[in-house]
């Protein structure tokens, strides 16, 4: 089951998100993410949150679950937990990066870490970037993205040991340390490339 969760952050160019929206089984909006859903022409299956960011009233027959403003989980995390409760095997998040709230972006990256730890396929996507977390022993196959860049940062550990194939700057079990961002802006040069995390945990950012 593939679940799309839509947040309230700017989504950028809508036409670039059209491929992501296809083949989705269920759509959840995190509070003000409903505004983004409307702009994309999507009618969500469920809206969740404290409802403090939605412009206007929700249309009739839209399912929603309202939470108090004072709560432990973010609206996005509430949506993720609901998706998992429903049996989601893959979670795609849009409207979760950018804007003037970098704290929310970081919080959403922390959610990716949570999903990686429970082995749920995930992506945090904008019109220009894809973010995901790869834990130790995991790999990402990259197809038909020549010319795009990939940045790798340790996340949740002091270092990650990385192996690349098909990227311009080579690594064969080299360490990337959290205080030295040498994994930024590597270029894809092969139709079939791969990134493996041999040790630690890493945040991968694919820039299109």
pLDDT tens digits for range 109-135: 999 999 999 999 999 999 899 999 999
Whether pLDDT at 195 is above 90: yes
Same domain, yes or no, for 140 and 106? no
Q: Which residue has the tokens 């940045």?
A: 151
Q: Find the CATH number of the domain harbouring 111.
A: 3.40.50.10240
Same domain, yes or no, for 113 and 146? no
Distance between CA atoms of residues 137 and 177, nearest Å: 17
Q: Find the CATH number of the domain harbouring 150.
A: 2.60.120.320
Same domain, yes or no, for 8 and 95? yes
Task: Name 174's bridge partners.
Answer: 162
Same domain, yes or no, for 79 and 114? yes
Same domain, yes or no, for 39 and 82? yes
Model pTM above 0.75: yes
Domain boundary residue, one of 78, 97, 127: 127
* Structural domain total, the chain: 2
Give the phi and the psi of residue 81 in degrees, each rounded to 5. Answer: -65, -35
Distance between CA atoms of residues 109 and 114, nearest Å: 9
Write the CA distances from 195 to 58, 182, 206, integer angstroms. 43, 15, 12
Domain boundary residue, one of 90, 111, 127: 127
For the chain, the 3-state helix, strand and coil shares in percent, each to the nearest 5, are 20, 35, 45
pLDDT in tens, 152-193: 999 999 999 999 999 999 999 999 999 999 999 999 999 999
Same domain, yes or no, for 70 and 166? no
Q: What percent of the chain has pLDDT over 90?
A: 71
Same domain, yes or no, for 47 and 144? no
Distance between CA atoms of residues 170 and 160, nearest Å: 15
Confidence of residue 194 (pLDDT cuts 50, 70, 90): very high
Same domain, yes or no, for 40 and 117? yes
The answer to whether the CB of 163 falls within 8 A of the CB of 202 is no
The answer to whether the CB of 112 falls within 8 A of the CB of 77 is no
Give the phi and the psi of residue 89 in degrees, each rounded to 5. Answer: -105, -20
Domain boundary residue, one of 112, 127, 142: 127
Same domain, yes or no, for 47 and 87? yes
The answer to whether the CB of 80 falls within 8 A of the CB of 110 is no
Q: Residue 81 is part of which domain span?
A: 2-127
Same domain, yes or no, for 112 and 151? no
Whether pLDDT at 52 is above 90: no
Confidence of residue 7 (pLDDT cuts 50, 70, 90): very high
Same domain, yes or no, for 22 and 112? yes
Sign of the Cα pseudo-torsion (97, 101, 103, 104, in order)? negative
Same domain, yes or no, for 92 and 41? yes
């Amino acid at each position: 089951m593939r679940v799309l969760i839509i947040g309230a952050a700017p989504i950028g160019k809508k036409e670039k998100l059209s491929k992501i929206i296809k083949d989705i089984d269920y759509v959840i909006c995190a509070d003000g993410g409903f505004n983004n859903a409307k702009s994309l022409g999507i009618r969500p299956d469920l809206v969740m949150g404290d409802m403090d960011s939605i412009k206007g009233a929700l249309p009739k027959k839209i399912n929603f679950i309202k939470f108090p403003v004072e709560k432990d989980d973010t609206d996005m995390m509430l949506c993720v937990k609901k998706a998992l409760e429903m049996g989601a095997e893959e979670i795609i998040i849009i409207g979760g990066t950018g804007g003037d709230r970098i704290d929310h972006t970081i919080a959403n990256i922390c959610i990716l870490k949570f999903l990686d730890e429970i082995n749920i396929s995930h992506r945090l996507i904008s019109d220009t970037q894809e973010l995901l977390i790869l834990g130790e022993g995991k790999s990402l196959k990259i197809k038909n993205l020549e010319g795009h860049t990939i940045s790798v940062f340790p996340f949740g550990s002091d270092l990650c040991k990385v192996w690349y194939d098909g990227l311009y700057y080579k690594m064969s079990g080299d360490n990337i340390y959290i205080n030295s961002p040498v994994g930024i802006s590597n270029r894809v040069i092969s139709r079939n490339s791969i990134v493996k995390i041999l040790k630690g945990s890493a945040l991968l950012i694919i820039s299109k």
